[in-house]
Chain A
């Protein structure tokens, strides 16, 4: 229950919050500027994080690439033991990938992530990945970014509301720097962490993501994460092969998710040997590397690159995909901190390249390059396993910089996503939170099952009396009194003013006007003049119903206008109508 324990230790209302309440403009002023700082610092930390991984890889696993080296077995095992000890006694919050932990911080602890967690994530994830555990650096980068944001916003004394907003801002920055792909990072955070588009947050997320990518690129260069192969023009017949890739990717993601869903809770239940689980996982993953497939160790970017450039035979590609699933399941389920993104991309690339190689062998007249299939395969697994369909499409496009693969990407991703949804109803991140005893909002459900009500859903007929604002007070008094006499239950009336606007008046308000009327001077005055300049706001049927409630403090009714004909009413809305609609009546 690492995330559940992350409870915000602050008092319910700090001095800073009180200050923020007094001066909300201050937070608005510094919000965007802070987003840039968060982006820059996250970017720098992610650069250091990647450096640490690479350094450790060279130091621990050596510079050679081949199998049959004993250190491949012993290094991940020893590192696993060290990680387990440090996790237990020094950094208890660092288990897991980082995505769920960030979500938990957002929804449970008001965006609070401790500095110790950030340091622990940095150190232990880099040790795990650098020593060959089959995990990736992206998700930890996301959490590191969120942690930086949390720390800075706390130090700046921001309100609770802003603290919560800053966690996804930092998450986007961390992920963007790790991926060198700002759009995908922004979309992922929106799709998986906050679950909705919000103009207020979007600006900050974009700023921080861009700032972090600029920092990362100033160190690593502007090259994309992978050397993208030549993407040849698509032959429409190849779409069939891409559909098969979607099918295979969907099934593979299902197997991967099932394996993790099965092993992870079982290993977590074995409390007596928790300390040895990462070591045993390291030993087994190292064994896979020792006996011939060292490519499955670590993040596996080089192997992805090689697969994209058709440097593996069909059988090896299939073996690599299978053993990567096994290795990642072992590493992740053992509680070793590290991410799922890189392994997902790895498996996708291998399966894609395998389909591409198969097509090249049996249908040589189709000219699609193996690299295109590997590229699409990465998106497929991303869509199906992580269940972020929009991010998956943009990720491929952003990483490849080539829009000619858009059709296959959309086709294959959709097929894989639908298969995964049908056969594994609970997305993997949600499954993990349930296994941890948490019930965070399901972003997939929020994305797809939200039923926002609109005015039109509660709209009622115009039963209130309607008058012309141009009527004189003398004439109006007569017609108003007649109308209220005819409809005794009516408590409000609608007055149509000259410019097409409406005024919703209470019966009492009108009666007050007529009683205060001077019979000699006021009878010729127009009713709308007497009502003053204020008018009931013009609202339309497609607007969100929730926005209506504040208006009932001032107005008895809300006239709902037609968007095509100014002044024409579609109906009216009363507070009772709104409440009835929300109660489901």
Chain B
């Protein structure tokens, strides 16, 4: 018994010493490995930042061989694999990382992007949503908004306009209290992509409020107002935009280079549109002026088309209508009966539309009248 007790005591002491020695060696070993891992990890990170994903992969793999559980390097490696075109590998890598943290916003976002590249729509949408509702380390609101915008962008690409519009509406609603003109403009642009001009205009207007010196906000708002037929606002905003832009050479206003033309058109449309006339007499004056312009356009078009053997039926019908309307479209007739005004505006509208189809795009006031015709502003 005593002998066994002594033997176990010696065995325990030996085990303790062995443990201490192993622990000492292991600590030294781990510390060296950590240094190597850090060195390789930094090299990988730098390579990734310099868009050298191939080099980044080699360095990060080396780093992970020393510290296999370094989450930061794992994420970087997965990212590098994706950037280097190893979509499947990157996807598997991120899926593995997601196992440990299924609610991680960044990982879900990366998986969504990879699913997008792999053309897996439902998977991509699911991961985007998981990312939106996932955890973000710091600035969660900003990340979630960005992801939702990215999701909306993806849905637009997938022609899923309604879903995209819903996502944009949520973002816009969440961002209502945020004074960020850049965000307003981005959101406005996104709404325009889903043909929601009304919401786009609201956001551009908000951008103008958030940053009254931003020419881009005015330019974009003016452009949408022009498209919506609100020529008065279009003129004001475009003019403001150009003015701000001139005072701020570094600004990016007028990206499409036609702001001045739109401004000119707006001004002209304001003068031509009968509906915008300040009085009835003025409106009739405009209608008579438009009648003359449109009649000239018809005559010119008939002449231009005279080479052909037969005048097109649509044109013949217009000629007949002009002849029939000769008595009802005089100043007196228009003043006497408002129905005659409607008839004249309809005739002008049809004339501009038909002549544009037969004789090509019009110029000058005819072009403006055609715009009004297309917007039904003449009827």
Q: Which residues of A are at the interface with B, using a C-beta cutoff of 8 A?
A: 26, 29-30, 33, 37, 40-41, 44-45, 47-48, 51, 54-55, 58, 63-66, 152, 155-156, 219, 221, 223, 227-230, 302, 305-306, 309-311, 360, 369-371
Task: Tell me the complex Cα distance, A234–B182, Å.
Answer: 48
Q: Which residue of A lies closest to B78 (CB)?
A: A309
10 chain-A/chain-B pairs, Cβ below 8 angstroms? A37-B11, A40-B19, A44-B22, A66-B58, A219-B23, A230-B95, A302-B61, A302-B65, A370-B88, A370-B92
Task: Tell me the complex Cα distance, A360–B25, Å.
Answer: 45
Is B68 a contact partner of A227 (Cβ separation < 8 A)? yes
Task: Tell me the complex Cα distance, A225–B97, Å.
Answer: 16
Is B26 a contact partner of A219 (Cβ separation < 8 A)? yes
Q: CB within 8 Å of A: which of B204-257?
A: none
Q: Which of B7, B22, B23, B26 contacts A156 (CB 8 A)?
A: B7
Q: Which of A44, A221, A311, A369 contacts B69 (CB 8 A)?
A: A221
Is A65 a contact partner of B26 (Cβ separation < 8 A)? no
Task: Tell me the complex Cα distance, A66–B58, Å.
Answer: 8
Tell me how many residues of B have a C-beta within 8 Å of chain A.
Answer: 34
Q: Which of A29, A63, A156, A221 contacts B36 (CB 8 A)?
A: A63
With A63-B62, A152-B11, A227-B68 known as contacts, the answer to whether A48 contacts B22 (CB < 8 A) is: yes
Q: How far is the CB of B45 from chain A (nearest CB, A)?
A: 17
Which residues of chain B have C-beta atoms less than 8 A from A48's C-beta? 22, 25
Task: Tell me the complex Cα distance, A219–B267, Å.
Answer: 80
Contact with A along B183-199 (1 / 0, CB 8 A): 00000000000000000
Is B15 a contact partner of A40 (Cβ separation < 8 A)? yes
Which residues of chain B have C-beta atoms less than 8 A from A66's C-beta? 58
Q: Is B127's CB within 8 Å of the partner chain A?
A: no
Task: Tell me the complex Cα distance, A155–B11, Å.
Answer: 10
With A63-B40, A309-B93 known as contacts, the answer to whether A51 contacts B4 (CB < 8 A) is: no
Is B18 a contact partner of A230 (Cβ separation < 8 A)? no
Which residues of chain B have C-beta atoms less than 8 A from A40's C-beta? 15, 19
Q: Is B155's CB within 8 Å of the partner chain A?
A: no
Is A155 a contact partner of B7 (Cβ separation < 8 A)? yes
Q: Which of A37, A227, A311 contacts B15 (CB 8 A)?
A: A37
Task: Tell me the complex Cα distance, A29–B11, Å.
Answer: 16
Is B96 a contact partner of A311 (Cβ separation < 8 A)? no
Is B88 a contact partner of A58 (Cβ separation < 8 A)? no
Q: How far is the CB of A488 from chain B (nearest CB, A)?
A: 60
Which residues of chain B have C-beta atoms less than 8 A from A45's C-beta? 18
Which residues of chain B have C-beta atoms less than 8 A from A47's C-beta? 22, 26
Is A41 a contact partner of B92 (Cβ separation < 8 A)? no
Which residues of chain B have C-beta atoms less than 8 A from A152's C-beta? 11
Q: Is B86's CB within 8 Å of the partner chain A?
A: yes
Contact with A along B1-41 (1 / 0, CB 8 A): 00010011001101100110011011001001100100010
Which residues of chain A have C-beta atoms less than 8 A from B157's C-beta? none
Task: Tell me the complex Cα distance, A40–B18, Å.
Answer: 10
Q: Is B99's CB within 8 Å of the partner chain A?
A: yes
Which residues of chain A have C-beta atoms less than 8 A from B262's C-beta? none
Task: Tell me the complex Cα distance, A472–B98, Å.
Answer: 83
The 6 closest A-B pairs by CB, nearest first: A230-B95, A311-B89, A310-B92, A44-B22, A309-B92, A51-B29
Which residues of chain A have C-beta atoms less than 8 A from B61's C-beta? 65, 302, 306
Which residues of chain A have C-beta atoms less than 8 A from B99's C-beta? 230
Which residues of chain B have C-beta atoms less than 8 A from A33's C-beta? 8
Is B96 a contact partner of A41 (Cβ separation < 8 A)? no
Task: Tell me the complex Cα distance, A230–B25, Å.
Answer: 34
Q: How far is the CB of B37 from chain A (nearest CB, A)?
A: 10
Q: How far is the CB of A118 from chain B (nearest CB, A)?
A: 13
Is A360 a contact partner of B88 (Cβ separation < 8 A)? yes
Q: Which of B25, B26, B81, B92 contacts A371 (CB 8 A)?
A: B92
Task: Tell me the complex Cα distance, A55–B12, Å.
Answer: 28
Is A230 a contact partner of B96 (Cβ separation < 8 A)? yes
Task: Tell me the complex Cα distance, A29–B40, Å.
Answer: 53
Is A51 a contact partner of B25 (Cβ separation < 8 A)? yes
Which residues of chain A have C-beta atoms less than 8 A from B68's C-beta? 223, 227, 305
Q: How far is the CB of B275 from chain A (nearest CB, A)?
A: 59
Contact with A along B75-110 (1 / 0, CB 8 A): 000000100001011001101101100000000000
With A26-B4, A63-B40, A65-B62 known as contacts, the answer to whether A310 contacts B89 (CB < 8 A) is: yes
With A33-B8, A152-B11, A156-B7 known as contacts, the answer to whether A51 contacts B26 (CB < 8 A) is: yes
Q: Which residue of A lies closest to B95 (CB)?
A: A230
Which residues of chain B have C-beta atoms less than 8 A from A64's C-beta? 62
Is B96 a contact partner of A229 (Cβ separation < 8 A)? yes
Is B65 a contact partner of A65 (Cβ separation < 8 A)? yes
Task: Tell me the complex Cα distance, A64–B43, Å.
Answer: 12
Q: Which residue of A lies closest to B74 (CB)?
A: A227
Task: Tell me the complex Cα distance, A218–B238, Å.
Answer: 71
Task: Tell me the complex Cα distance, A316–B28, Å.
Answer: 36
Is B4 a contact partner of A30 (Cβ separation < 8 A)? yes
Q: How far is the CB of A173 from chain B (nearest CB, A)?
A: 13
| Most chain B C-beta atoms within 10 Å of own C-beta, residue among A47, A221, A223, A306 | A47
Task: Tell me the complex Cα distance, A306–B65, Å.
Answer: 11
